[in-house]
A and B are shown apart, each in its own frame.
Chain A
Amino acid sequence: MFIALRDLKFAKGRFLLMGLVVALVAFLMTFLSGVAAGLIRNNISGLIQLDVTHLSFEYNNNKPSYRNSMIEREMWEGWQALPGVLSAEPMGHTMFGARQMNDAPLDDVVLWGIQPGSFLEPEVLEGEALGRLENGVIISELLVDRGLKLGDKFILDRVLTELEVVGIVGEHTIGHVPIVYTPIRKWQEATYGPPGGPPPGEVLPDILYDFATIIALQVSQDFNQNRMENADMELGTLTIDKVDAYEASSGYIEEVRTVQMIQAFLTVISAVVIGAFFTVWTIQRTKEIGLIKALGGSSAYLLRDALSQVIILMVMGTVVGTSIAIWLGGGIETTGGFFVLDRDTVIASSILLIVAGLIGSALSIRLITRVDPIIALGREQ
């Protein structure tokens, strides 16, 4: 590092500019990771907080999807009866447009039908649990931002079901749409029953209550994949673990892939820019490299020296860029924007950037090995 450190000091303007480029790329990568994680969390935050190990969908030759799945009572009762299955609860999932009683629109909401008191019911931040009122629901606090509060009633478009807010949870969403936790019987009536409920003096047929969208499962650790597949075959379901179930959320895969592609582009751009900079830098230093070789400097010495220069530049640029991204992202997060960063993501994207820079520069500083010390005597190679 003898020459590397002195070079950094001597050509500080040039290295400062390059450091700024690295910092900018690091900032973009970290910031984008934070936005991506925030966006993804917003897509599936309802699923993330579900205390389940697996979700069972209807097996119908399609990829698991909340929209295309419909399971029957025999299926969830079949799962409930299996040894190793700790809990199995039917769960409904339907998207509705909704409006307040004064006709103010609430936009789309997703009704999740759950058994009151079951492991699927979230803890409320305000209000009470499900069960006291037949049409009492727990809403995502995003709906509070849209004007709802405890005790308010609202109507589902199309089916004209009236619901009353009894509890509020955090930002629970699925596919970026706020979730309304509803007693499953009310969900079944809204989803499969006639608009506005049964005609006066009539009751809805019992068969209505034999359907749901998916089965939420808690299984023991010894309930292995083989047993899972056998159960699926027998019961006509398709069971996937909780993380795989994220992909069933609308737009989740597309969002993740888009963000990953942007990150990949940024990584490649970073490698190319760093590589180009060090190629020009090495070419400009050709005479100096020839001199040092003539004085007895080995290629290994020069490579080590140049590589340490790259590492210093990359680490400092990355630390600066990442720090700014964390600081700015923290501000966004506190104002309720989509931004989540965890330590592992920051470390991973920083290491990825530094490695990309090293790969880009490694190709250029290899030119060092080709410099002939004879040029120190003023001769061409």
Chain B
Amino acid sequence: MSLVFEHVSLELGDGDQKVKALDDVSGSVSPGELAAVVGPSGVGKSSLLAVCGGLRSPTDGEISINEQSISGLSPAQLTRIRRDYIGFVFQQSNLVPALTSVDQLLLVPSLRGRRPTATDREHALALLAEVDMSHRADRRPDQLSGGERQRVGIARSLMSDPMVLLVDEPTSMLDHARGHAIVELLATRCVEHKVAALMVTHDATMLDSASSVMHIKDGQITQEH
């Protein structure tokens, strides 16, 4: 298993404001699998993504990536885990405004402390080709449509050859057809790159391509199939 979370709880806020965002949730995702977490807004979907990605430390429970526990690691160690093992696809694509599409991908080796090489560039262009974005490689985010930005985001998430892909509402800014195409693309890439992907979405119509589905409500997984 590439991603395992066991008995994970997360409390947010202090005192009277304390909220249990996750309540004893468990699950796992294998390489090549796209697991969907579905539920309405505010039930804990993104909190699950945050703890799995080391952006929040869980109050309780254990998270493992490639059988290595990431619970209790320092912020600096978690940053390295994200850099080396995890790819993110964000809700609003979240591209760096100053970078062209190809540079968005070349940022990944740069974050590892090395100057991007010609091989990196070839790899980045190949990934952009996989998401049908070769022709927009030298465009900046403000010159791309919402769907194109999301495709670049997907290509970037695969640039580091991650073990785990965490996908946050990838279709929320897109129309149904484009959203569907993006989820299909993600599912295909996960199989091809043997990545374990956890995708949270509130849109139940986007689940056709998912290998498994977890329903979440009030911080608890209520159904899994």
**Which A residues form the contact surface with B (CB < 8 A)?**
2-3, 6-7, 9-11, 287-288, 291-298, 301, 372-374, 376-379
Q: CB of B140 within 8 A of chain A? A: yes
Contact between A295 and B55 (Cβ–Cβ < 8 Å)? no
Contact between A9 and B79 (Cβ–Cβ < 8 Å)? no
Closest to A6 in B: B98
Give the distance to chain B from A294, nearest Cβ to Cβ, in Å: 6
Contact between A377 and B91 (Cβ–Cβ < 8 Å)? yes
Contact between B98 and A9 (Cβ–Cβ < 8 Å)? yes
Contact between A288 and B49 (Cβ–Cβ < 8 Å)? no
- Chain B residues with Cβ below 8 Å from A377 are 46, 49-50, 55, 90-91, 168
- Chain A residues with Cβ below 8 Å from B79 are 293, 296-298, 373
Q: CB of B178 within 8 A of chain A? A: no
Contact between B108 and A374 (Cβ–Cβ < 8 Å)? no
Give residues 80-138 of B contacting A (CB, 8 Å): 80-84, 86, 88, 90-92, 94, 96-99, 103, 106-108, 110-113, 115-116
Give the distance to chain B from A361, nearest Cβ to Cβ, in Å: 18
26 contacts between A and B (CB under 8 A): A2-B106, A2-B107, A2-B110, A3-B96, A6-B99, A6-B103, A288-B97, A291-B90, A291-B94, A292-B107, A294-B53, A294-B55, A294-B90, A295-B111, A295-B156, A296-B81, A296-B112, A301-B111, A374-B55, A376-B90, A376-B94, A377-B50, A377-B55, A377-B168, A378-B92, A378-B168
Q: In the docked arrangement, what's the CA distance between A297 and B83, Å?
A: 7
Give the distance to chain A from B176, nearest Cβ to Cβ, in Å: 21
Contact between B96 and A291 (Cβ–Cβ < 8 Å)? yes
- Chain A residues with Cβ below 8 Å from B103 are 2, 6
Closest to B55 in A: A374
Q: In the docked arrangement, what's the CA distance between A291 and B91, Å?
A: 12
Q: In the docked arrangement, what's the CA distance between A20 and B116, Å?
A: 32
Q: In the docked arrangement, what's the CA distance between A378 and B168, Å?
A: 10
Tell which of A10, A295, A376 touches B140, judged by Cβ atoms closer than 8 Å: A10
Give the distance to chain A from B11, nearest Cβ to Cβ, in Å: 15
Give the distance to chain B from A313, nearest Cβ to Cβ, in Å: 15
Q: CB of B20 within 8 A of chain A? A: no
- Chain B residues with Cβ below 8 Å from A295 are 82-83, 88, 107-108, 111, 156
| Interchain Cβ contacts within 8 Å, total number | 87
Closest to B112 in A: A296
- Chain A residues with Cβ below 8 Å from B56 are 374
Q: CB of B76 within 8 A of chain A? A: yes
Contact A10 B97, CB 8 Å, known A295-B83, A297-B83: yes
Give the distance to chain A from B143, nearest Cβ to Cβ, in Å: 12
Give residues 45-81 of B contacting A (CB, 8 Å): 46, 49-50, 53, 55-56, 76, 79-81
- Chain B residues with Cβ below 8 Å from A298 are 76, 79-80, 111
Contact between B80 and A301 (Cβ–Cβ < 8 Å)? no
Give the distance to chain B from A18, nearest Cβ to Cβ, in Å: 16
Contact between B80 and A373 (Cβ–Cβ < 8 Å)? no
- Chain B residues with Cβ below 8 Å from A372 are 55
- Kindly name the residue among A10, A288, A377, A378 whose own CB sees the greatest number of chain B CB atoms within 10 A: A377
7 smallest CB-CB distances across A and B, nearest first, come from: A296-B83, A10-B98, A2-B110, A296-B82, A6-B98, A7-B98, A297-B111
- Chain A residues with Cβ below 8 Å from B106 are 2
Q: In the docked arrangement, what's the CA distance between A145 and B49, Å?
A: 84
Contact between A296 and B50 (Cβ–Cβ < 8 Å)? no
Q: In the docked arrangement, what's the CA distance between A337 and B83, Å?
A: 61
Contact between B96 and A376 (Cβ–Cβ < 8 Å)? no
- Chain B residues with Cβ below 8 Å from A287 are 94
Give the distance to chain B from A39, nearest Cβ to Cβ, in Å: 46
Q: In the docked arrangement, what's the CA distance between A324 and B70, Å?
A: 57
Closest to B115 in A: A2
Contact between B96 and A292 (Cβ–Cβ < 8 Å)? yes
Give the distance to chain A from B180, nearest Cβ to Cβ, in Å: 22
- Kindly name the residue among A7, A10, A294 whose own CB sees the greatest number of chain B CB atoms within 10 A: A294
- Chain A residues with Cβ below 8 Å from B81 are 296
Give the distance to chain A from B214, nearest Cβ to Cβ, in Å: 18
Give the distance to chain B from A228, nearest Cβ to Cβ, in Å: 60
Tell which of B50, B76, B96, B99 touches A374, judged by Cβ atoms closer than 8 Å: B50
Contact between B140 and A296 (Cβ–Cβ < 8 Å)? no
Contact between B88 and A294 (Cβ–Cβ < 8 Å)? yes
Tell which of B46, B82, B108, B110 touches A294, judged by Cβ atoms closer than 8 Å: B82
